[in-house]
Amino acid sequence: MSDPLLDVVKRGLRIFDLGRPMFQGMPQSPNHPQFSHTLPRRHGDMVRSDGGSAANDLIVTGTHVGTHIDALAHVSQDGRLHGGTDAQAASIGGRFMEHGVHTIGPMVRRSVLLDVAGAQGLEECPPAYEITPDDLAATVKHQHVDIAGGDVLLVRSGWGRHFDEGAEAYVGRESGVPGVGEDGARWLADQGAFAVGADTIAFERLSAGGGHAVLPGHRVLLVERGIYIIEAMALDDLAAAGIYEFTFVLVPLNLTGATGSPVRPLAVVSND
């Protein structure tokens, strides 16, 4: 049997893993059920007659934990989901058959990394910094890239470097977190983005001490424009390699009626 990774290398491709590791105690939004992992059966708890043994796992998690995608059912405005769907009626039965994450097909699309921090000559944008349309346009110019309708647009603020420092630093409740505001979200939508993503806990700017109290970017993208949001991405390796255009691969878990799903997105880059 051939090694799939070796086959990829032979074809002159590189793979960048844009997903964060999932582990108990990892940084995550306080608004969602905490990730928990345990071993209800360990090796030796049951041993077969031939000496074989098996271990297994129990995982409890919210769907908006770790690197994850927001389905259109995740956010409503004035009682309505994207397209005017009645949000309460859509959730009857305890799941969203319309706009649930199971309606998101596998993504294999062109993607553009917008390294805002890098374009500004910074390791990271300041806490609570609002990434404006001017910042995004300047980044496009700095990187000499073009954006096309249907692209997946990923915004790097540099804040992802705080993930390994723990929840307090990464979630940034007291400090605030950089990200696009309402105007930045509209700019991304106006470029024809199919989906957007960022290296932060909530994609958009969080004010110091404000937490997730107001998220206008989610309203613009999910409700008004029908654009998926991917959060808590690992984008530093792509930026360090100076790679701004690539093939983006993402497949949500097929969770019928769920509002989101953990994901492990990949950037596939040709060596040519």
20 backbone dihedrals φ, ψ, rounded to 5°: -85, 150
pLDDT at position 31 is: 87
Bridge partners (DSSP) of residue 100 are none
Domains of the chain, by residue range, sit at 13-20+64-270
User: pTM, whole model, 2 decimals?
Assistant: 0.94
When pLDDT is averaged across residues 40-51 and rounded to a whole number, the result is 96
Residue 5 has pLDDT above 60, yes or no: no
Q: Tell me what percent of the residues of the chain surpass a pLDDT of 90.
A: 90
pLDDT at position 28 is: 92
Digit-coded pLDDT (tens) for 93-136: 999 999 999 999 999 999 999 999 999 999 999 999 999 999 99
Q: Is 13 left (phi over 0), alpha (psi -120 to 50) or beta?
A: beta
Digit-coded pLDDT (tens) for 183-239: 999 999 999 999 999 999 999 999 998 877 789 999 999 999 999 999 999 999 999
CA–CA dist 249, 156 (Å, integer)? 18
Q: DSSP characters for 71-131? A: -GGG--BTTB-GGG-BHHHHTTTSS-SSS-GGG-PPEEEEEEEEEHHHHTT-SSPPTTPEE
Digit-coded pLDDT (tens) for 239-253: 999 999 999 999 999
Q: What is the CATH number of domain 13-20+64-270?
A: 3.50.30.50
Listed in sequence order, the residues at least 6 apart from 9 whose beta carbon sits closer than 8 Å to its beta carbon are none
Digit-coded pLDDT (tens) for 7-37: 555 468 999 999 999 999 999 988 899 999 9
